[in-house]
Every structure is written in structure tokens, then in C-alpha cells.
């Protein structure tokens, strides 16, 4: 039922110990309060008798007490060799009887004192009964606490078992999000985190399948071209120049294959980068550095890179390599599809989710109905393997960020590539 690392067992032990300690402390305080209250009442009673005798030479005061009050009462005058500093009050036992004794000054010149003894055997028996009842109540309360602790711990681990059962029945082909509205409020963040993980796994499985299929397709085509050119070359004897031309075509095809292989290796490197330890960085500072790098490249291509960053500083805990990869891919695509003498804008701003990073170009736009983040997906007639956005999407998922690419809606042709970093792992830096 329990293991050495069982949270439920630890919770049970802590709850039982704390509850038992609370019951014992409360019962002890209650008993000592009852005992002290009763003894204080007896003390005041004997003190009244002593004062009456000292002042009136009689046990009676203004009001004559009932005869029962004098039962078990013994009064005598004693003489001491030295005076007491104060009134002495104590409890003693004699002949199996509990006695309260009060020593009160009577005539200090003669060193005489009134000694009043009260038999409180019945009172002490009553206190013993109260103590026994409290002990029985403590045992019953302790048993109730144990039962309650077991029921409470079982209730608390029920949602965890429910999540565990749902996850254990899932595989890469049958993954369904967990309905967080069916979970207790305290477990909703855990459910949302698991759903995010499930979504990432689904995307990973989906894109990995597409990656394998796309890789096979992309490599099959140049291999077929190489084989066909070699077969044509071997049909008949040719001149040296014709052989050289055939080898050049083959080498060009091999270079294309190397580009595909290099990009596939980048996927492996990025998965390694996702395992890097996150560090706290100023995202705005990284964006400024990246903008400086691409500003000269844009100018060299006859294009203009505009920059606008808000706020002045934004601290976030993330893998810097993944952030650089996303922003770099956005800027490379923007410059690739933006005609000469046109503009590209890199900007950042705050929204309800966190920090929004946008790269806006003036290119030809995109087909929003297609999955641009799928591997080997190409837009337009530009060269490329089609793995850049696939890597960017994978990096954004690892950062827990949102990524999107949409057409501009301000009447200008072009696209807006955006990355939205969550504010949960970041904060605004003071100016």
C-alpha cells in the first residue's frame, strides 16, 4: 500500500502525529485548568475562614455557611518557633486521604498561626474521573483522527490515480487531452501541464513521421537523378568533356543531398539544445544583438531592417540557443522573401500572455491553409530544404512559447512571424 517514498504515508504520519500532539496538549491544558480552578476555589474558601477567625474570633462571616461546608474541616491554632514569610498553602496525603492545608497568621507576636485542614478526597476522586474521561476521549479522538487521515489521504491521491490511469492507457496513437474541468481546482495546473506535454508529444510524433517520410522522399529524388545520369552515361562511349559534365551534374546532386543531411543533423543538434540548462537573460538585449547582425546583411541586399523594442528590458529564464534559432529563422525568411528596396521590421511589445516578438516583411505572403511548420514544407520559388520553420516550431514548443505565421492585415503584402514568450517565466526589467 505504501512505499518508502510514499507521499500518502508521509502525510498520514505527519497528520496523525500533529493531531495527536494537539489533542494531548489541549487535554492537558484543560485538565490543569480544571484542577487549578477547583483548588483555587478551595484555597479562597479556606482563606475566608482564616480571615474570619483572625478578625472576628469566629469562623462565621457576614453570611453563615451551610453545615455541609464544614464537613472534613479541621481548624487548630499552632505555635511555630519562627514566623512564616507569607500564607502557606499546600496539599498532602494522610491515611489515604487527600488534605488541603492552609497556614494563616493569627498572632504574630506569639508566632501563632491558624492551621485549617480540608478533606478533599472526594474532590480529588472527581478530578481523577475527569482525567480518565479525558484519556478515553483522547483515545477516541485519536482513532477518529487516524480514520479521517486515511480517508483524507485517499481522497487527495484519487485525482493523481485518475491521471495515472488515463496516462497509462495512452500511447502515441491514442492520445487525448485530459479534461481539466473534471479535476479539483488544485490539480488543474497539473492537468494543463500534462495537456501541454501531450500536445508536444502529438506534434513530435506527427512531425517525426513527416520528417522520416519527407527525408526518404527528398533523398530518393536526387539518388534517382544520379542513377539515371550514370545509366545514360554508360549506354555508349562518350568524350572526356561529356564525362566531366556528367560528373559535375552528379556532384551538384550530391551537394543538394548534403544540404538535406546537414539540415537533418541540425534537428538532432536542436534536440540537444533543448536539454541545455535554461539561464536568465535579457531578451531585449538578445533581440538588439540579432538585429545588429542582420541590419548589415539587409543593407547589402538593398533592403532596410527597422527595429522597435518595448519594453527596454525583459528578463526571462530560457535556452538562449533556441531563442536565437527562432529569431534568426524569422529574419532569414523575411529577408529572403522581401524584394529589393522594401522593408523588414523586428519589434517587440507586451501583451496579456507575455512578450510578443514579431518579424514583419513585405514579401508575397503565404497560404495560411497549409501547415507551414511541417518538415520539407516550402513556400514560393525560393531555394531551401524546408526545415527552418519545423525547427523553429520545435524550439518554441521547448520554450513553452506560442509561434505563428500569418499574412499582414494592414493592406500591405507580406507576412507577420510572431513568437510569444510566457510571462510566467519572465519579468520586466527596470529602465
Query: From its phi and psi, is residue 91 left (phi > 0), alpha (psi between -120 and 50) or beta?
Result: beta
Residue 308 in contact with residue 337, Cβ under 8 Å?
no
Residue 280 in contact with residue 315, Cβ under 8 Å?
yes
Residue 43 in contact with residue 89, Cβ under 8 Å?
yes
**Span 176-218, pLDDT tens digits:** 777 777 777 777 777 787 777 777 777 777 766 766 666 666 6
What was the pLDDT predicted at 420? 92
**Span 62-117, pLDDT tens digits:** 554 555 455 667 888 887 776 665 678 888 888 888 888 888 887 766 678 888 88
Decide which of 3.40.50.920, 3.40.50.300, 3.40.50.720, 3.30.565.10 is the CATH code for 279-428: 3.30.565.10
What was the pLDDT predicted at 235? 78
Q: Which has the minimum average pLDDT: 3-12, 79-88, 246-255, 380-389?
A: 380-389
What was the pLDDT predicted at 419? 93
Q: What is the mean pLDDT of the chain?
A: 78
d(CA 272, CA 322): 10
User: Could you tell me the residue ranges of all domains in the chain?
Assistant: 7-144, 198-273, 279-428
pLDDT tier, 17 (very low <50, low <70, confident <90, very high otherwise) = confident
pLDDT tier, 357 (very low <50, low <70, confident <90, very high otherwise) = very high
pLDDT tier, 416 (very low <50, low <70, confident <90, very high otherwise) = very high
Q: Is the pLDDT of residue 431 over 50?
A: no
Residue 309 in contact with residue 347, Cβ under 8 Å?
yes
Q: Is the pLDDT of residue 385 over 60?
A: no
Contacts of 100 (CB under 8 A, 6+ apart): 39, 42, 43, 46, 89, 90, 91, 117, 118, 120
To the question of pTM greater than 0.85 for the whole model, the response is: no
Decide which of 1.10.150.110, 1.10.287.130, 3.40.720.10, 3.40.50.1370 is the CATH code for 198-273: 1.10.287.130
pLDDT higher for 269 or 353?
353
Q: What is the mean pLDDT of residues 265-282?
A: 67
Q: What is the mean pLDDT of residues 400-409?
A: 88
Paired strand residues for 415: 407
Q: Name which of 204, 178, 358 is nearest 274 in CA terms.
A: 204
What was the pLDDT predicted at 381? 53
Q: Name which of 395, 402, 399, 400 is nearest 417 in CA terms.
A: 402
**The three-state (H, E, C) secondary structure of 148-186, written as one string:** HHHHHHHHHHHHHHHHHHHHHCCECCECCCCCHHHCCHH
Paired strand residues for 307: 346
**Which residue do the cell numbers 487548630 mark?**
76
Q: Is the pLDDT of residue 330 over 60?
A: yes
pLDDT higher for 276 or 19?
19
pLDDT higher for 147 or 59?
147
d(CA 74, CA 76): 7
Residue 303 in contact with residue 340, Cβ under 8 Å?
yes
Q: By three-state DSSP, how is residue 122 classified?
A: helix
pLDDT higher for 394 or 27?
27
d(CA 338, CA 71): 112
Grid cell for residue 75: 481548624
Cβ atoms < 10 Å from Cβ of 259: 15
d(CA 203, CA 209): 10
Cβ atoms < 10 Å from Cβ of 335: 20
Q: Name which of 222, 192, 178 is nearest 400 in CA terms.
A: 192
Q: How many CA atoms lie within 13 A of 371 on its CB side?
A: 11
Maximum distance among all alpha carbons in the chain?
151
Amino acid at each position: 500500500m505504501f512505499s518508502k517514498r510514499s507521499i500518502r504515508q508521509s502525510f498520514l504520519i505527519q497528520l496523525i502525529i500533529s493531531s495527536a500532539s494537539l489533542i494531548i496538549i489541549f487535554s492537558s491544558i484543560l485538565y490543569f485548568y480544571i484542577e487549578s480552578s477547583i483548588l483555587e476555589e478551595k484555597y479562597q474558601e479556606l482563606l475566608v475562614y482564616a480571615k474570619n477567625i483572625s478578625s472576628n474570633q469566629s469562623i462565621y462571616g457576614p453570611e453563615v455557611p451551610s453545615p455541609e461546608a464544614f464537613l472534613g474541616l479541621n481548624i487548630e491554632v499552632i505555635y511555630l518557633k519562627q514566623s512564616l514569610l507569607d500564607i502557606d498553602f499546600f496539599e498532602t496525603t494522610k491515611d489515604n486521604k487527600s488534605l488541603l492545608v492552609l497556614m494563616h497568621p493569627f498572632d504574630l507576636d506569639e508566632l501563632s498561626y491558624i492551621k485549617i485542614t480540608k478533606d478533599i478526597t472526594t474532590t480529588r476522586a472527581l478530578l481523577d474521573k475527569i482525567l480518565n474521561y479525558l484519556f478515553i476521549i483522547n483515545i477516541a479522538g485519536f482513532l477518529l483522527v487516524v480514520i479521517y487521515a486515511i480517508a483524507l489521504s485517499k481522497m487527495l491521491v484519487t485525482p493523481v490515480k485518475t491521471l495515472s490511469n488515463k496516462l497509462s492507457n495512452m500511447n502515441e496513437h491514442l492520445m487525448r487531452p485530459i479534461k481539466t474541468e473534471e479535476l479539483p481546482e488544485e490539480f488543474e495546473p497539473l492537468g494543463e501541464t500534462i495537456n501541454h506535454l501531450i500536445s508536444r508529444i502529438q506534434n513530435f510524433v506527427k512531425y517525426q513521421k513527416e520528417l522520416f517520410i519527407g527525408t526518404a522522399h527528398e533523398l530518393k529524388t536526387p539518388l534517382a537523378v544520379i542513377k539515371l545520369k550514370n545509366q545514360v552515361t554508360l549506354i555508349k562511349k562518350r568524350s572526356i568533356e561529356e564525362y566531366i559534365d556528367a560528373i559535375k551534374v552528379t556532384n551538384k546532386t550530391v551537394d543538394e543531398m548534403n544540404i538535406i543531411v546537414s539540415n537533418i543533423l541540425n534537428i538532432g543538434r536542436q534536440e540537444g539544445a533543448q536539454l541545455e540548462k535554461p539561464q536568465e537573460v535579457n531578451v531585449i538585449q538578445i533581440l538588439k544583438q540579432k538585429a545588429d547582425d542582420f541590419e548589415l546583411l539587409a543593407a547589402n541586399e538593398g533592403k532596410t531592417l527597422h527595429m522597435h523594442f518595448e519594453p527596454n528590458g525583459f528578463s526571462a529564464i530560457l535556452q538562449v540557443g533556441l531563442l536565437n534559432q527562432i529569431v534568426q529563422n524569422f529574419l532569414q525568411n523575411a529577408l529572403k522573401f522581401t524584394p529589393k528596396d522594401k522593408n523588414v521590421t523586428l519589434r517587440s511589445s507586451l501583451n496579456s500572455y507575455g512578450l510578443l516578438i514579431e518579424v514583419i516583411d513585405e514579401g508575397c505572403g503565404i497560404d495560411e491553409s497549409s501547415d507551414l511548420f511541417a518538415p520539407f514544407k516550402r513556400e514560393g520559388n525560393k531555394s531551401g530544404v524546408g526545415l527552418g520553420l519545423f525547427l523553429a516550431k520545435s524550439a518554441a514548443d521547448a520554450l513553452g512559447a506560442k509561434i505563428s505565421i500569418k499574412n499582414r492585415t494592414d493592406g500591405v503584402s507580406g507576412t507577420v512571424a510572431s513568437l510569444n514568450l510566457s510571462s510566467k517565466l519572465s519579468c520586466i526589467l527596470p529602465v
